[in-house]
Amino acid sequence: MDCIFCKIVEGTIPSRKVYEDDDIVAFHDIQPQAPVHLLVIPRKHFASLDAAAPEDAVLLGKMMLVAKQIAHEAGLTADGYRVATNIGANAGQIVFHIHLHVIGGEKLAGINA
């Protein structure tokens, strides 16, 4: 399968990793949209949250907690950062391997701005 993020998981495409375990990898976004812009992905490939199954519930929860952990390690606090996932082309999704964006380090525009 021709998936950039699967290649990052396999290590055939390099990335600046900040976290990995048996289920999850996190790394710096190649085109950061803010001073901190990290991505959290599962090693398991599925296209988006819309393709998630009930058995993915624990994995999705772990991804959210990893997002918080790496946010804190990057210096972000409960004062403000964003964890977001795009679903489908109309939402701006360009990589169809589910990922959480962890974005912060500046005052962010509101999600509806």
- Binding site residues, ligand 5GP, CB under 6 A: 4, 13, 15, 27-31, 39, 86, 92-95
Q: Which amino acid is at 46?
A: F
CB contact at 8 A, 22 and 29: no
At 44, list the tokens.
């398991």
Residue 16, token pair as written in the block = 């600046």
- Own/partner pairs, 18-24, CB within 8 angstroms, 24+ separation: 18/70, 18/73, 18/74, 19/66, 19/69, 19/70, 23/59, 23/62, 24/59, 24/62, 24/63, 24/66
Cβ nearer to ligand 5GP, comparing 16 with 72:
16
The site partner of 93 among Zn ion, ligand 5GP, none (C-beta below 5 to 8 Å per kind) is ligand 5GP
Task: Write down the catalytic residue from 28, 37, 45, 99.
Answer: 99
Please report, as residue ranges, which positions from 25 to 84 form the binding site for Zn ion (by CB under 5 A): 45
Which of 71, 97, 99, 102 contacts Zn ion by CB under 5 A?
Answer: 97
Choices 6-14, 26-34, 48-56, 87-95; region in contact with Zn ion by CB under 5 A:
6-14
Number of residues that bind Zn ion (CB under 5 A): 5
Q: Distance between CA 74 and CA 70 in Å, rounded?
A: 6
Please choose which of ligand 5GP, Zn ion, none residue 97 contacts, taking the beta carbon within 5 to 8 angstroms, the exact cut-off set by kind. Answer: Zn ion
Whether residue 37 lies in the annotated active site: no
Q: Which residues are catalytic?
A: 99
